[in-house]
Copies of this chain bind each other. A is one copy, B any other.
Amino acid sequence: MAHEFRMRREVTFAETDMAGILHFSNYFRYMEEVEHAFFRSLGHSVHGDTKTGNFGWARREATCSYARPLRYQDEVELHLRVREKRSKAIVYETRFLLDGVEVARGSVAAVCIAKDEDGNLRAATMPPEIDAIIQVAPTE
Contact = CB atoms under 8 A, between A and B. Distances in A.
Interface stretch (A16-24, A81-89, A92-100, A127-135): A16-24
Interface of A is mostly: mixed
Taking residues whose C-beta sits less than 8 angstroms from the other chain, chain A's interface range is: 35 or more
A32 interface: yes
A19 B66 contact: no
Contacts of A73: 40, 45
Nearest to A21: B18
Interface in A2-29: 12-14, 16-21, 23-26, 28-29
A1 B59 CA distance: 36
Contacts of A14: 17, 23, 25, 29, 32-33
Contacts of A56: 19
B72 A61 contact: no
Contacts of A32: 12-14, 24-25
Given A12-B36, A25-B32, 4 more contacts: A16-B18, A17-B18, A24-B32, A61-B66
